[in-house]
Amino acid sequence: MSARRFMAPGADLAGESVRIEGDLFRHMVKVLRLKIDTRVRLADGHGAECAGIIREIGRDHLTVAVEERHAVAPASGSLQITLIQGLPKGEKMELILQKGTELGVSAVVPFQADRSVSRIPADRQDERLRRWQRIAAEAARQAGRPDLPTVRLAQGMEGAIRGGDHDLKLLLWEEERATTLKGAIKARPRPARIAVIVGPEGGLTTEEAETARRAGFIPVTLGRRILRTETAGIALLAILQYLYGDLGEGENPEEGPGSSLTS
């Protein structure tokens, strides 16, 4: 049986052993009921991985004796995509985080847009962030990602778009009629760092769109299709990963899509 793989953000994998505590310890021992001498693989979320054997299980921690370690390239190679997502209702943000992580997003920035129905009280924001980070870590583990996306909660559009050095900035906006996604990226140099803004259920206000536009974001339309907020970002991530990332890996980009199917 192959060793189970776990994401251990913040763990030091460089020594002869790794100490596991907190939620991961409880998951491994209380939920999965792993025992001493069980082989496991650990990833720190920054590209380092190791394999070893559980040698000690205490009341609040376990220890893994490291047998081998190696570095792994990021899931999407050199492509980095930041998804800036207007906070949606209910548990939709969790779905977006899960599927975005599977699709190799590098960073997710949920922000409380003017039309966001959901509001996270200040005293609960840290708790919500920790939950989102756990969801991203579990999605990364299931997808076999060696790295973890960062998650940052922002207050408003200005806070969401602050910082970041991106080659391509896209704003999905329902009021845009002329510029299509295809038109926005056509004849542009191949980007390595992309930022995408998606509004909440009620969409973005004109003022928010103008704030993004002044920061260099290109408003684009996806045409006649009307996608829900939890679908739009995921769809765009898949498109961008196919064009510039690792979806369809094995093809030669210089030969064009589908060329790897020919003999």
Q: Give 83-103 pLDDT, tens digit per residue.
A: 999 999 989 999 999 999 999
Choose between 77 and 220: higher pLDDT: 220
Distance CA 191, CA 188 (A): 8
- What pLDDT was estimated at residue 1? 56
165-194 mean pLDDT: 90
Q: Give 2-23 pLDDT, tens digit per residue.
A: 788 888 887 888 889 999 998 8
Model pTM? Answer: 0.77
First to last CA, the chain: 36
- What pLDDT was estimated at residue 73? 62
Q: Are 14 and 67 in contact (CB under 8 A)?
A: no
Q: Give 31-74 pLDDT, tens digit per residue.
A: 999 999 999 999 887 778 889 999 999 999 999 999 998 777 65
Give how far Cα 218 sits from Cα of 151, 179, 244, Å.
23, 8, 18
154-175 mean pLDDT: 92
Q: Which residue has the tokens 């056509």?
A: 186
Q: Give 201-249 pLDDT, tens digit per residue.
A: 999 999 999 999 999 999 998 888 889 999 999 999 999 999 998 776 6
Give how far Cα 214 sits from Cα of 172, 219, 221, Å.
15, 11, 18
Q: Indicate the residue type of 151.
A: V
CA angle 106, 200, 129 (to 5 degrees): 50
Distance CA 42, CA 230 (A): 31
Choose between 175 and 153: higher pLDDT: 153
